[in-house]
Every structure is written in structure tokens, then in C-alpha cells.
Structure 1
Amino acid sequence: MPQLTDEAVPEQGAGTDEHLRAGTWMTPEAYGASRAALWTGAVVLVTDVDGRVLVQSVDYRADRLLPGGAVDAGEAPSAAAAREVREELGVDGYYPRGLAVDWIPADTPDIPAGMRFPGEILHVYDGGTWNQDRIDSVRLPAQEVTGIHFAEPADLPALMDAGDARRALSALRARINGCGTAVLEDGRPTVPTALDRLGVLRTRREPQRDAWNPGPVPARLPVRDRSGWLFAPDGRVLLLIARATGAAHLPPPTAAPTAGAVELGYRLGDQGAHARTAARLTGLPPASDPAYARLLATAEQVRELSDWGRAGDDELAAVHTARTHLSLPSPPRTPPTELPDSGTW
């Protein structure tokens, strides 16, 4: 910040001290005039129990929006977020946790020239997961908001303005990462995490919503596929991300050497059972398939990246029981770590 003076700024060479350089000293008025003016906005990211994102239809544009709007003069952004949700959806709440802060440039396309848009700093707050009772409590205003919809994350680019969709997906990944507020520029993280670099959630999640059944698959049932909850020594599990699509998958039980394997349970699909095994990783060989990145993630993060319906909670409970049985710690939520192809931990 320049040093301020109440005196007029002397011209360079007009008898000023040699150690003073032109432009180093400014009057408060000159300094204030030099600062960039930006709008400030606040939106709220809400999901349902299936991990879909709440977007609303409005009567003044075709694409969908997250709940939120402009921050009024003298208003805190978090207060604006709560006010906008109350005005637009009729739901009271307090949203102190920031997921992202985005800088939106002045030359953003499709903004009417008459608005004289100077650019904007937009805060994205975590609205949490709403159950059906809270969703049923939504009351829309007489005008502006015409409806709400819970959208699969991968569908956001088709429903929203491109910058809005980038911002919403980046904020959702920041929530899953659990690493604090992400700093964005035009919806893109300035420090991308593994989930950002791999474009996780950019394609639709594969639904596996059948009921969870604990224990081994009965002999009379065909097994369609097997996958494993393979625990690293720190209690996190191995997760595969398809580089081409960003889709998340549990690995097969044979992806790495293991010990203490147990038949955790299964889901019964149309073509057979989807079986799950839990085991402790005893090593990590070099990557065998370059089409997949290998991550270590918490079990909760795997659950949030998957479309398993309410039965996913039952599976998650079984995973925690297996982790305790294997005498492994409960890991804190940190951003998933991408493992090197060399196989080194």
C-alpha cells in the first residue's frame, strides 16, 4: 500500500528529496480513486442426501443458478447468503463455512454492456445436506424464483452458465476435500487439488442404489463384479479415478497385495451381485493401467463421490466396522492424495 499524505504529492524533480520517488506518496483521495471497484456476491451450495446440487430456475434468465445474489452495502457476505436463501426459498439458516471465493473478470461473456460490470468477488458458502423435510419446507416467492431442482453434479454445465458451473463444481470438490476455502479465478482453483486436476464429478456417477446386504454373497447368486475397500496404514482407502472421464471407482480386491480380507457385503443388481471385500494393504505395486489415477481418500469421501442412495450409509457403517476390526486408525478428512505410478507410498 502506498504511503499516504495529507499534502499534495510533489512532482518528481520539483525540489523533492532524492529518496522520494514519484508515485510513492498519495493523498487519501488519490489512493481511493486508484482502487479497483468490484461487485460482491454470495451464493450457497446445497446438496440432497444423494449428493445432487440444488439449483433454481428464475424468471429473468434461461439457465439455472445457485441460491444467492448481491451483497448489500455494509452487509457481511455470510449475512447476505442467509438473507438470499430466506428471500428466495423461504428457508432460515446460517452458513458460516466458506467453500470458495471466486474472482469473476469484468470481460465475462454475455453480460449486458449497459450493466457496466466491473468484475465481482463472489463467495460460495456451504449450505449443507438437506433432508426431505427441509426440502419440503421450501416456499418460493411470488416472483423471480420459479422452481428448484436437484441436479447430478455432472449435469451442471448443461444447466448453468459455464462460469457458474465451474464455480459450483470447484466448490463441491472443496467441500469433499475438506481443506478449507478454495481460491478461484473465473471458477478455476488457483491451487488445484487432485480432484480438480482429474476433473472428478464431470461425468455422471454410476448409480448403485440397491439394498446393502452384509456378509458373503450366497452361493446361489451369480457375482457380477468384486471391488475392495483396501485400507492403507493411515486408515484411508485406495480409490481409482478414470483419467478420461473423472469417474471414481473402488479397485478390484486384487489391485494390490493385502492381508486380513473379509467379505464385507454386497448389492444385488439385475445381472448379479456387486460384492465388496475389505482388507489391509500390505504394499503398493507400480501402476498397471495408465488409464487410472490412484488416490488415497477417506471412506466418507468415497461415499460422497458415489451414487449409492441411502444404502450407502449402511455400507459406510460396515466399512468403519471393518477398519476397526483391522486395527487401523480413523483418518481425518484431508484432500485425497494422488499416488505416484511407481508404487511408492
Structure 2
Amino acid sequence: MTTTSAPDERPSVAMRDEAYGALRASAALWAGTSVLITNQRGQILLERVTYRPTRLLPGGAVDPGESPAKGAVRELEEELGVTATVTRGLAVDWVSPAGRTTPPAMKFPGELLHVFDGGVWDDDQIAAIRPRPGEIDGIEFVEPADLPTLMAQDDARRALSARRARINGAGPVFLEDGLPIAPTVLDRVGVLRTARARHHLRFHNRRVPDGLTVRQSWAWAFAPDGRVLVLLEPDTGAACLPGGTPEPEDRADPETTLIREAREEAAAELTRTRYLGYLSEPGEPCARVRYAAALTSLGPTTADPATGRTYVRILATPEQAVEFFDWGPPAAEQLQAVHQARGLLGIPRAGRQPVTELSGPIAW
């Protein structure tokens, strides 16, 4: 038999099956698969393996005739002793011959490596892990910002890109040597490359007690579609909600602090503010208050007079916003209060969708 339309020849040229097969085989690549799993704090599961000094996501080579998804399921069972399903892809990475350091004798031809979403594992799922003796020394959950110090650089880039893709929720991303070919705002700013703010502070849905100093006033500022305003530091990728620390001109009024800080940081105008509660810090007699509010407009981006930074402004669902921080178990109680206030504001719950950058003025 003959085959037409060879990849490097005119469509009118016919090739025998043997020649066509040899041509395609000469361009063969490795195929790999891996799984990104997080705990309920958003930390990423890494394996300590016996055969290399750096950590890895669970995964490995795809067997002949095996799909990448089935390979991911098999690797989870072989390496961690767990039975799981994977139905959602996060990334497909073209790992070039120059993108990975390998011994010359290996003749690495390049690889297509798939990253699947293993989901968020609870304590019972984590306790059921049984690392494969002789291959997996153990597992650990690590902060995304720590990946570059624990993994090979290409592996760290890929894992971070996949983690951002999961947050963004736009579907699988295509990578080249770990970097997206079409970066989102989360990639461009470098979200998660620096340590997330860690505040495992108790949330109290009541008024601040007398005598407790208010140190901070932040808002969950809702756009009409149910998403909230999040500010990203352009130099670090760190996230914060609009708001800040009290100044003397605020006259000890947290709501005044909030409105002033939102205007200074993000050129954001807020209305219909609703008090949610406060966070307490053990050993420190202070409170960090939280509000919900409706966004009415955003002006042109300007530098925050307190820090000199011009924040990148995005809209994200409240659930996406929580993933930018390490707030621990109390985050669930705060999120519940946020959605109760959203309902009282008459704002719909936002469905899963990609984050949106707000670069110019906008009014609602």
C-alpha cells in the first residue's frame, strides 16, 4: 500500500507504508504522564524517590499502547498504592531535547508530558498512601513557592504552570519546557512563585470586642457577576484583597479605612459595605476585620502611595481567591460568611470561570 501527504513532501507524492512508518518513527518522542494532587491547604504532593536527588510529581513513562490518562492511574497505584480516577487534564508539555539535562548516552529525543488533575485530598485519602518500597522513599506536601528548590527546574516550571491552570479553570494549557505558550495573567505575574500569606487565624463572625485594636481592614469586593477583586503584586506575584491598615485620619473607623485603602491601592470605589467579622491572632491583642462590599467602579491603575506598587487587578471567584493564600481550616468559615453577605447584597454566585484582568477604568 501507499500513503500520500507525507509530512515533509507535497501531497501529490505517494510513499509506501514502510517508508512512511520509518519517517514517522524517526521523529518519535517519549510520552510521560504525571498527576498534580493537593491537600486542603493547597500544598502540592511530591515524591522523594530513590533514583534522583530531586522531588517528582507522581507519574512516569506511558507504557506501549497505553493512554496518558490510564498511565496516570496506573502510576498512582504502583507508586502510592492508591486507586484513583483522573478525568481532567491540566497541561501538556513539550519537553525539548535541550529542555532537560540527560546523559548523552540516553539520546533523549524530547517528550510529550501530560499533567492530570488528581484533585484535593483529605486526611483520610492521604493516610491511605502506601509508597512503593525501593522506589518511593516517601511523600510530602509542599508550598508551591518551594518547588524550584526541591524539583528540577523544568519539573518545577511545569508543576507551577499546571497549578495555575487548575486555579484559572480554563482547561488544559500547552507548555514548552514548562512554560505556557499563551501565558495568562497568573503566569505573567508569577502567582505562587513566592510564599503565600500564611494566616491560620480564627474567624469570628461578631463585632470586635472593646479594647481590641483593629490592625487591618480588608474587603471581599464583589463585581455584579459574583466575582471579587484581588490585587496581585507585580514584582512578587503575591495576592491581597483590597484594604489595609488604619491611619489617624480614619478616626478608628475600620469602614473608613477600607474605603480609603481600596481607593488608594486599586482606584476602587465600594458601596453597600457589610461587616463579616474579624480574625484574631493568638498572643496579639489585635483584630483583622473583614467586610463584603459591592464594586461600583475602578479608575485608572495608579501606584499605591503606601508601597509604590501598581497592583495588577483581577476578578476571581471567591473560591479561586482563597487559593492565593494559606489560610488553613478557618478559611472555610470566612468563605461561608462571604457567600451569606453576597446573597444579602443581591449578587449571584459566580460559576467556575477563568480570572479576568482589569487593566483600565470600568464602571458597573
* TM-score normalized with structure 1 length: 0.92
* Aligned amino acid, residue 274 of structure 1: R
* Contact map agreement 1:264 1:318 (CA 8 A) in 2: yes
* Contact map agreement 1:212 1:315 (CA 8 A) in 2: yes
Does structure 1 residue 89 correspond to structure 2 residue 72?
no
CA 1:261–1:21 in 2, change beyond 3 Å: closer, same or farther? closer
Name 1:294's counterpart in structure 2: 313
Name 1:32's counterpart in structure 2: 21
Q: 1:123 aligns with which of 98, 103, 114?
A: 114
Structure 1: distance between partners of 2:217 and 2:302: 18
The alpha-carbon deviation at position 50 of structure 1 amounts to 0.5
Structure 1: distance between partners of 2:128 and 2:121: 10
The alpha-carbon deviation at position 104 of structure 1 amounts to 0.4
Structure 2: distance between partners of 1:226 and 1:177: 27
Name 1:233's counterpart in structure 2: 224
* Contact map agreement 1:193 1:335 (CA 8 A) in 2: no
CA 1:108–1:174 in 2, change beyond 3 Å: closer, same or farther? same
Name 1:215's counterpart in structure 2: 206
Does structure 1 residue 73 correspond to structure 2 residue 64?
yes
Structure 1: distance between partners of 2:168 and 2:325: 14
Name 1:180's counterpart in structure 2: 171
Deviations 1:50-102 (A, max 9, x none): 00000010111000000000100011111110110111111110111111111
Structure 1: distance between partners of 2:188 and 2:295: 26
After TM superposition, the structure 1 = structure 2 runs for residues 265-276 of structure 1, keeping only pairs within 5 Å, are 265-269=277-281, 270=284, 272-276=286-290
Quick check: 284-293 or 332-341, which moved more? 284-293
Q: 2:338 aligns with which of 319, 331, 345?
A: 319
Name 1:334's counterpart in structure 2: 353
Describe the SS at the equivalent of 1:277: strand
CA 1:229–1:73 in 2, change beyond 3 Å: closer, same or farther? same
Describe the SS at the equivalent of 1:166: helix
Describe the SS at the equivalent of 1:140: coil
Deviations 1:126-172 (A, max 9, x none): 11111111111111222110010100000000100000000000101
* Contact map agreement 2:100 2:154 (CA 8 A) in 1: no
The alpha-carbon deviation at position 114 of structure 1 amounts to 1.5
Structure 2: distance between partners of 1:22 and 1:322: 63
Name 2:137's counterpart in structure 1: 146
Describe the SS at the equivalent of 1:64: coil
Unmatched tracts of structure 1, length 5 or more: 10-19
Structure 2: distance between partners of 1:317 and 1:83: 37
Does structure 1 residue 281 correspond to structure 2 residue 295?
yes
Structure 2: distance between partners of 1:137 and 1:31: 48
Percent identity of paired positions between Structure 1 and Structure 2: 51
Deviations 1:279-334 (A, max 9, x none): 11111122232531010110000111111000001111111111111001111121
Query: Higher helix share goes to which structure?
Result: 2
The alpha-carbon deviation at position 23 of structure 1 amounts to 7.6
* Contact map agreement 1:287 1:343 (CA 8 A) in 2: no
* Contact map agreement 1:236 1:299 (CA 8 A) in 2: yes
The alpha-carbon deviation at position 40 of structure 1 amounts to 0.6
Structure 2: distance between partners of 1:145 and 1:279: 49
Name 1:12's counterpart in structure 2: none
Structure 2: distance between partners of 1:134 and 1:273: 35
Describe the SS at the equivalent of 1:225: strand
The alpha-carbon deviation at position 179 of structure 1 amounts to 0.8
* Contact map agreement 1:243 1:292 (CA 8 A) in 2: yes
* Aligned amino acid, residue 261 of structure 1: T
* Contact map agreement 1:259 1:279 (CA 8 A) in 2: yes
Structure 2: distance between partners of 1:216 and 1:178: 36
The alpha-carbon deviation at position 218 of structure 1 amounts to 2.2
Structure 2: distance between partners of 1:200 and 1:266: 26
Name 1:4's counterpart in structure 2: 3
Describe the SS at the equivalent of 1:262: strand
Structure 2: distance between partners of 1:155 and 1:187: 16
Structure 1: distance between partners of 2:15 and 2:170: 39
Unmatched tracts of structure 2, length 5 or more: 244-257, 263-267, 304-308
Q: 1:108 aligns with which of 99, 104, 118?
A: 99
Name 1:13's counterpart in structure 2: none
Name 2:242's counterpart in structure 1: 251
* Contact map agreement 1:244 1:291 (CA 8 A) in 2: no
Name 2:327's counterpart in structure 1: 308
The alpha-carbon deviation at position 39 of structure 1 amounts to 0.7
* Contact map agreement 2:302 2:310 (CA 8 A) in 1: no
Quick check: 99-108 or 65-74, which moved more? 99-108
Does structure 1 residue 135 correspond to structure 2 residue 126?
yes
Does structure 1 residue 263 correspond to structure 2 residue 252?
no
Structure 1: distance between partners of 2:241 and 2:84: 36
